[in-house]
Amino acid sequence: MALRYYHAEPVANSLKSMIPLKEKGLEFESVYVDLHKFEQHSDWFVKINPEGQVPVLDHDGQIITHTTVINEYLEDVFPDIPLRPRDPVGAARMRYWNKFIDEHVMNHVSMHGWHRMVGVIARNIESGEFEKLLENIPLPDQRKKWLTARSGFSEADLANATDKIVYAVEKVEKQLGETRWIAGDDFTLADINFYSHCGMMVERMFPDLDIAQRAPRLVEWRDRMSARDGVAAALAMPDHTNPALRTFTGHAR
């Protein structure tokens, strides 16, 4: 039974499905896809994932995409070390949080990351060459995002994204006053999701939000997350980001 994981740096979506692989102690072949060289839009990769995005899980030739789907798949196939509550109510709570994070957190943090990092990369590409690269992007929304990143997201959009992040931080802070982990008393895929997209980097990315003061329980939870063997092993996967840009996105190293 062979698992292959196509991924970029250990942050956001690539980290989100790497953590379950490590937490569950699964052997897998790691295939690094260099987003800085647009490998995600290249012919060889689009043959694997026609949407041109990482990460991708290949399990004995079955291709699974989208992190929340990948993580539930891993749970179904490798349930021995559980990351999803086995009772239906617990599983529903976890899925509620995953839905919230996927729909109302991920894109807002991503916009700030793209504004600071992808924008720099996109502006360094010559005009004609940039348009050629755009043509290779399969998803229309991603094409627009690359285009906007080059000129810069508007102040209004960035401020709106920050408001959504503050809302999410306060929502998680409140929840952690009631339960030890985000979806209840067990560590679940919801913790992995919020950590990968927001929790691990929110303090470094948004120093003005004064997270330590605003959300002390979230900071304590974040440290508990980072100390887990599976999380630490996932974070230790290679990071090829230009060190000068790394701080913008709040990469761990």
Ligand X SMILES: N[C@@H](CCC(=O)N[C@@H](CS)C(=O)NCC(=O)O)C(=O)O
Residues engaged in binding ligand X (CB under 6 A): 8, 12-14, 35, 40, 53-54, 66-67, 142
**Closest residue by Cα to residue 4 from 34, 26, 35, 36:** 26
What stretch of H or E contains 222?
Answer: helix 216-226
In terms of CB distance, is 56 or 219 closer to ligand X?
A: 56
Nearer to ligand X, 176 or 202 (CB): 202
User: To the nearest whole angstrom, how small is the minimum distance from the Cβ of residue 220 to ligand X?
Assistant: 26
Q: Which is nearer to ligand X, 40 or 241 (CB)?
A: 40
- Cβ-defined contacts of 174-180 (< 8 Å, 24+): 176/217, 176/218, 176/220, 176/221, 177/217
* SS3 of residue 62 by DSSP: strand
DSSP of 93-148, one letter per residue?
A: HHHHHHHHHHHHTHHHHHHHHIIIIIHHHHHTS-HHHHHHHHHT--SHHHHHHHHH
CB of 34 to ligand X, least distance (A): 11
Q: Which is nearer to ligand X, 117 or 176 (CB)?
A: 117
Q: Shortest gap between Cβ of 48 and ligand X (angstroms)?
A: 12
Q: Identify whether 55 is preceded by a cis peptide bond (ω within 30 of 0).
A: yes
Closest distance between ligand X and the C-beta of residue 40, in Å?
Answer: 5
| Closest separation in Å from C-beta 157 to ligand X | 17
For ligand X, which is the closer residue by CB, 224 or 245?
A: 245
